[in-house]
Amino acid sequence: MSPISSAMTNPPVNRHAAADNGDSKNPSLRAERKTARLATRLIA
């Protein structure tokens, strides 16, 4: 399954919220949010 189709079936909305709340404490969440944004851009 490609990253794009998995992003479509699993929207990263909750992950974005979690990263916004704690991204200075947790760099891995920040990286995950960045990846989710790129995936969203590819879909749109």
Q: What is the pLDDT along the chain (44 residues), one digit of tens a residue?
A: 555 555 556 555 555 555 455 545 666 667 777 888 887 887 76
Task: Output the CA angle 7-21-34, nearest 5 degrees.
Answer: 35
Q: Which pLDDT does position 4 carry in this prediction? A: 57
- N-to-C CA span, the chain: 19
State the Cα–Cα distance between residues 32 and 35, nearest whole angstrom: 5
Q: Which pLDDT does position 29 carry in this prediction? A: 67
